[in-house]
Structure 1
Amino acid sequence: MSSPQSILEHTFGYTRFRDPQREVIDTLMDGQDALVLMPTGGGKSLCYQIPALAREGCGVVISPLIALMQDQVEALCAAGVRAAFLNSSVPPEQAQQIEAALQAGELDLLYMAPERLLQPRTLAMLQRVQISLFAIDEAHCVSHWGHDFRADYLQLNCLHEQFPTVPRIALTATADRRTRAEIAQRLDLAEARHFVSSFDRPNIRYRIAQKDNPRRQLLDFIRAEHRDDSGIVYCLSRSKVESTADWLVQQGFTALPYHAGLPADLRAEHQRRFLREDGVIVVATIAFGMGIDKPDVRFVAHLDLPKSIEAYYQETGRAGRDGEPATALLLYGLEDVVKLGQMAANSDGSEEHRRQERNRLNAMLGLCEITSCRRQALLSYFAEELQEPCGNCDTCQEPPQTWDGSEAATKLLSCVYRTGQRFGAAHVIDVLRGSTSEKVLKFGHDELSTYGIGTELSAAEWRAVVRQLVVRGYLEVNSEAFGALQLTEACRPLLRGEEKIELRKLPTPTRRSAASGSRAAADIAPADAPLWEALRACRKQLADEKGVPPYVVFHDATLREMLAAKPQTEEALLSISGVGDSKLQRFGDAFLAVLRDFPPQ
């Protein structure tokens, strides 16, 4: 057996553990269980990969994501680790070969889908071989309250019963206190040590804006800041995914749809292209569970509101896994509130479950409408305190202006009351602004005392007032009555003039100057640009020859370090972070040849 430190250096090419990786690894090395919460890109995988290599036997990893298994196995094999996966995508003949390799002691790590693991024949096979540990990835899938619930995960407590001496580790990037407790209870991890890292992803810039021609907003954003970058665009429906992808193609981008309604082979092809080609944008449903380790996703954009902060955090967490700057853009509107409210009201489950869904949606809306630091609010939701504003979100960089909205709020609430609390925001705003639409005249609302008293605000400004009153609990959107606005008890002091309310102003639209290329390329000094492009071309050629994504060869961060240090010998190249013994042997000569063409000045 090698020591964890030796494996870190020679297999994975790093010199230092991040907190709390070493503690987690030592816990498993001692045969104890662990529950690990660590943000995406924080190094969760090493927490089980290293002890699986250091202990006798094969480590078994349970993951719900087929794409993630394949991705991680490719990366491990490139580092010289004997790894394989078993799931529904593996042909029977190949599965038999993998099982034979496991029983012959020829595997270090085996990834499995939960439904495969739980088959009686699989459990019987595992009883006949030496298992170093069980790793349960994406452990939040066990939670009924979570956004990714998987029924198969509820049966994984059988590992504790059938393999009582094998240490187990459960890992997730998203779980509040309630979900953590549910994971520990359902997986029989009551005695496990808990390791909770910071949820902060300081390299991600959070930006949230109201919808105002969202396609134009998305286009301006990509052209100005991420023209040549890989990114993910989330939409709520499959039809919107496909139409948005088609539209992005028309704008000159390489954009691919990805949702459960596409044929499996087409999804696999789109995923392969996203992993292996530069500058590909995937447009996906919010239920998109790609869960891949692609480190250089430079932006994640939501064109519809996520239904919870957990979902938002996990989906935005796919940006910037390499630690380089990335952006999370969210565009939302009142129509999102109505749609998600209807989904929550019509969801299966008890009234308590639906109430929790509504609470999570309200928390997500609160994050959208706050005027203080987004990151502080986001971390606070996960019971983590950030002492100072982050300086890397829209509200920190461009603090929103507020105004005394008491009179406007009173007008709006009165109009909701006068129209019988039976109409949606658009109709109420038409009445306030004195519209002569057929619907206003049909119901005689042009004769109400509130007709035409709100001409001082635009329709967009009134929609912002509605959103903020909904978020603050003065109004409710009745999803079962076609989105009708209805008053709550909380609005009485405001209507009586006993309470004032400060509202957020709509930002003045500003067009950013179009930038050529990506932010990552812009960070490269002009004198280093030829070497940078040569290193990337070398990586792409090697990746194509091996049939793997470029980052499986080396991450951008490793190429940047090569660019700065310009190593000329194998020993110097081995000192670069991310270059281990296996990668030096397989790729070292090719990169050294490139680097020697650009000797240090």
Structure 2
Amino acid sequence: MGIDKSNVRFVVHYDMPKSIESYYQETGRAGRDGLPADALLLFGYGDVAVARGLIGNGGNAEQNRIELHKLNCMIGFAEAQTCRRRVLLGYFGDRLEQDCGNCDICESPPERFDATEDAQKALSCVYRVGQRFGMGHVIDVLRGSQNHRIQELKHDQLSTFGIGKQHSQDFWGNLFRQLIHLGYLEQDLANFSVLKLTEGARPLLRGEMRLELAKPRDTKVVEKKSAAKKPAYDGALFQELRELRKGIADEQQVPPFVVFADATLAEMAAQMPKDKWELLKITGVGQHKMARYGDAFLRVIRDHLEKAEN
């Protein structure tokens, strides 16, 4: 991306970069003039398989290991359930005390749950294995795997062996990634990506704080919800909302879908929200977009309803 322009408003990745360094550099082309800009990453697990295959073809084992770690970090970013700005800065060793309020996770937060006990189990297991193993091995210990490696190391005799068997591999993988993103754990790239506790993990392990984490998004449920959310909508109102969206997009010099997607406008035209609380229930409307565009769209909806009543 040899682009040296200050007014790039939109960066799209049609497949996933192989590292966060590449992604950060490429998305950094947008908004250099200080005005709002958007980045869209299209992510599929086919990309992961291709990238891993290319890395595996390399002749240098040590370099392959490093590249695979970087790819796994990029996958973790794509699957993140926490503020993506936090994930990016955390990868480079910086900490963000508050969520950014701009990314898709901040604008449409996932459902959360009290993860204190599960997080304590995870952190305790990292400690019990001596902070010398990667995520996969720690999860195997938590889930009570009887593989040869665990038996050879006598990790089946640890107090944390099998204490997390009620949860799936995916559940623990998601939880560990969130603990890494939030700064309770770090991965040592120079030492085979082993997990190590940070100072921030101590109060959590001691029970001095509670921790809420995001529930993994169930793609099947999302697909079912999306299929169900296709109500009949008011065509005239839909066109009025599109005209408003185009005016805003032209003024901000961004594509219209950056303001709201057609699906969001269609749902507005179907549900006809009357206040900000109802508007926030519309798919694609988060706190950030509510603050920027909510009043204008609610005004069009109210005017339309008043005309219909008269």
TM, length-normalised to structure 2:
0.49
Between structures 1 and 2, the one with greater helix share: 2
Between structures 1 and 2, the one with greater strand share: 1
TM, length-normalised to structure 1:
0.27
| Higher Cα radius of gyration | 1
